[in-house]
């Protein structure tokens, strides 16, 4: 059988009951009383009651409920009877309050037990986590004294817990680094620079045997019993540093090999055009110097230098008689010469350089006003590296002898880029180039 649905009542629906709880005085309602509260009368009719005595349940001067006495016949309660009912009601109220307190205490005990169990589980998890960790984990106070260390710390540094606990963290570092560590630690504790929390810092570590090794350390702050503590994770990065060094060495070798290959290609071009022998090398030196003057990154400078060394690679496809023709070129011959940028790009585009070498070679005759070739690019659409190469190429070409004309001289070359600064040539590149020659004594033949 389904349980009857429980009804919820509001005191606002039963003014008589509300008055009893407010005044803390009993009230007797007769079904025959025409002045009785309609809500109470309806309730009595529903329960077939003729008389309803409403007695407040009072604890410490506060009503916590009411006790109702119902009779099926009209009954008039004497004062002594009401007083007796009040006494009984007070005992019931105390019993109810005690039951509620007991339930609350039981709930609090249950919650505390659950919290303690959760804490034990958390501590066990933390213990397993720290003791099985490969990295060293230490906890230090605000004076950098070690209060906790895991087994990995013993293995990494060769000290026992008895030797390290209570000692300053700087004991794990070489003597020459200890004062700097203490100064940095005190500054952090005083300023609480939050942005460095858990940020890994590379420092030197010292084993109990005296051997030094590279390590990475990061700290985070926590509070225990109102005192600040700091948990640090220390990682031995010796193998990583060795791998990085080996990688740098390998990359250096690869760069040397790549440079040698590019020099060989450059010499191949110059053997077909003996009149411009050394042109690419001189352009490369000037382009590199301009890039350095402009403050470009070392990687960008390397890319410019490599591209400049072979920027005329496409001339390998031009007949030698055109390259070395002592008279003025015809429009047809000049058109063939203009193809060398595209030819150089087509040769280099499939090679996976660490720099955009092929695009630099393709664009080294573009002008910032769009009048260059082969694509007619302008402004920022031209790579910065190509804009630098363009200026270096023009200066070297005008300052050097050609089969079809004598040298125009360095002064004329610098005049050309000055007059067309911001028109044909990038103004920042021109300014850097002029500064090299007029203020720093740069020479085209210098290495």
| Ordered DSSP codes for 395-415 | HHHHHS-BTTB----HHHHHH
Same domain, 323 and 421: yes
User: pLDDT tens-digit profile of 81-116?
Assistant: 888 888 888 888 888 888 888 888 888 888 888 888
- For residue 180, the domain's CATH number is 3.30.450.20
Do 156 and 62 sit in the same domain of this protein? no
Same-domain check for residues 151 and 42: no
Residue 159's pLDDT is 93
CATH (domain of 290): 1.10.3210.10
Distance from C-alpha of 319 to C-alpha of 53, rounded to nearest angstrom: 125
Per-residue model confidence (pLDDT) at position 197: 55
How many structural domains compose the chain?
3
As a whole number, mean pLDDT of residues 5-30 equals 78
Q: What is the mean pLDDT of the chain?
A: 85
0.75 surpassed by pTM? no
Q: Is residue 4, in this structure, part of any structural domain at all?
A: no
Tell me the torsion sign for CA atoms 3, 8, 13, 16.
positive
CA distances in angstroms from 329 to 110, 332, 334, 367, 412, listed in the order given:
100, 8, 6, 22, 22
CB atoms inside a 10 Å sphere around CB 391: 27
Ramachandran angles phi, psi of 425, nearest 5°: -120, 150
**327 pLDDT tier (thresholds 50, 70, 90):** confident
pLDDT given for residue 3 in this prediction: 47
> pLDDT band at residue 432, thresholds of 50, 70 and 90?
very high
In a domain, 332, yes or no: yes
What would the pLDDT profile of 184-242 be if each residue is shown by its tens digit?
777 777 775 554 556 778 889 999 999 999 999 888 777 666 677 888 899 999 999 99
pLDDT at 419 over 60: yes
| Whether 281 contacts 267, CB under 8 Å | no
Query: Are residues 206 and 92 part of one domain?
Result: no
User: What is the Cα–Cα distance from 175 to 167, expressed in whole angstroms?
Assistant: 14
Indicate whether 121 belongs to any domain. no
Residue, of 408 and 153, whose pLDDT is higher: 153
Give 239-272 pLDDT, tens digit per residue: 999 998 888 888 777 777 777 777 777 677 666 6
Q: What is the pLDDT of residue 225?
A: 64
Could you tell me if residue 122 is inside a domain?
no
- Nearest CA to 65 out of 41, 96, 40, 37 is that of 96
Whether 431 maps to a domain, the answer reads yes
Q: Is residue 127 included in any domain, yes or no?
A: no
Q: Residues 164-179: what's their mean pLDDT?
A: 89
Residue 281 and residue 385 in one domain: yes
Question: Do residue 28 and residue 57 come from a single domain?
Answer: yes
Confidence of residue 416 (pLDDT cuts 50, 70, 90): very high
Q: Are residues 426 and 340 in the same domain?
A: yes
Question: Is there a domain that residue 67 lies in?
Answer: yes
Q: Based on the fold, state whether residues 250 and 396 are members of the same structural domain.
A: yes
What pLDDT is attached to residue 2? 47
Domain that holds residue 81: 11-108
State whether 259 and 230 are in the same domain: no
Q: Are residues 293 and 199 in the same domain?
A: no
Q: 17: exposed, middle or buried (C-beta count within 10 Å: 0-12, 13-18, 19+)?
A: buried
> Which parts of 133-237 fold into alpha helices (H)?
151-157, 161-164, 175-191
Domain boundary among 236, 259, 283: 236
Please enumerate in sequence order all residues whose Cβ is within 8 A of that of 4, keeping only pairs 6 or more positions apart, or say none. Answer: none
Check residue 354 and give its pLDDT: 85
**Burial (0-12, 13-18, 19+ Cβ within 10 Å), 335:** exposed
218 and 246 both lie in a single domain: no
pLDDT at 206: 92
Please report, for the domain that includes residue 34, its CATH number: 3.30.450.40
Residue 120 lies in a domain: no
Domain boundary, last residue among 190, 216, 236: 236
Query: 394 and 263 in one domain?
Result: yes
- Predicted confidence at residue 9, as pLDDT, reads 59
pLDDT(290) > 90? yes
What's the pLDDT band for 364 if we cut at 50, 70, 90?
A: very high
Of 221, 236, 251, the residue that ends a domain is: 236
Residue corresponding to tokens 């649905």 = 5
């Amino acid at each position: 059988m389904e349980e009857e649905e429980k009804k919820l009542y509001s005191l606002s629906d039963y003014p008589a009951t509300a008055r009893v709880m407010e005044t803390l005085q009993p009230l007797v309602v007769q079904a025959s009383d025409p002045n009785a509260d309609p809500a109470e009368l309806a309730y009595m009719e529903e329960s077939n009651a003729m008389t309803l005595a409403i007695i407040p349940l009072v604890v410490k001067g506060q009503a916590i409920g009411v006790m109702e006495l119902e009779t099926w016949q009209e009954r008039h309660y004497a004062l002594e009877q009401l007083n007796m009912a009040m006494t009984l009601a007070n005992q019931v109220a105390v019993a109810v309050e005690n039951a509620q307190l007991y339930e609350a205490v039981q709930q609090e005990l249950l919650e505390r037990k659950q919290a303690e169990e959760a804490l034990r589980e958390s501590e066990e998890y933390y213990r397993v986590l720290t003791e099985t960790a490969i990295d060293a984990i230490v906890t230090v106070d605000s004076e950098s004294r070690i209060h906790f260390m895991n087994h990995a710390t013993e293995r990494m540094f060769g000290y026992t817990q008895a030797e390290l606990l209570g000692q300053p963290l700087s004991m794990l570092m070489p003597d020459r680094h200890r004062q700097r560590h203490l100064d940095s630690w005190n500054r952090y504790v005083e300023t609480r620079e939050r942005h460095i929390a858990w940020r890994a810092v590379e420092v030197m570590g010292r084993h109990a045997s005296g051997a030094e090794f590279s390590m990475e350390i990061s700290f985070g702050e926590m509070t225990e019993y109102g005192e600040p503590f700091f948990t640090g994770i220390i990682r031995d990065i010796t193998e990583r540093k060795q791998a990085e060094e080996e990688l740098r060495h390998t990359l250096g070798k690869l760069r040397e090999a790549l440079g040698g290959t590019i020099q060989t290609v450059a010499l191949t071009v110059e053997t077909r055009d003996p009149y411009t022998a050394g042109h690419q090398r001189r352009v490369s030196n000037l382009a590199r110097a301009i890039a350095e003057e402009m403050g470009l990154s070392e990687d960008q400078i390397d890319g410019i230098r490599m591209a400049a060394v072979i920027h005329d690679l496409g001339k390998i496809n031009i007949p030698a008689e055109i390259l070395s023709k002592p008279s003025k070129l015809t429009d047809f011959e000049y058109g063939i010469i203009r193809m060398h940028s595209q030819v150089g790009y087509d040769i280099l585009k499939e090679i996976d350089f660490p720099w955009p070498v092929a695009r630099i070679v393709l664009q080294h005759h573009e002008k910032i006003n769009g009048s260059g070739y082969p694509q007619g690019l302008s402004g920022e659409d031209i790579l910065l590296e190509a804009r630098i190469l363009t200026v270096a190429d023009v200066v070297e070409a005008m300052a050097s002898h050609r089969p079809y004309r004598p040298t125009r001289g360095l002064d004329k070359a610098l005049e050309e880029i000055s007059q067309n600064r911001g028109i044909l040539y990038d103004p920042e590149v021109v300014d850097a180039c002029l500064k090299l020659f007029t203020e720093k004594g740069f020479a085209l033949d210098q290495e």
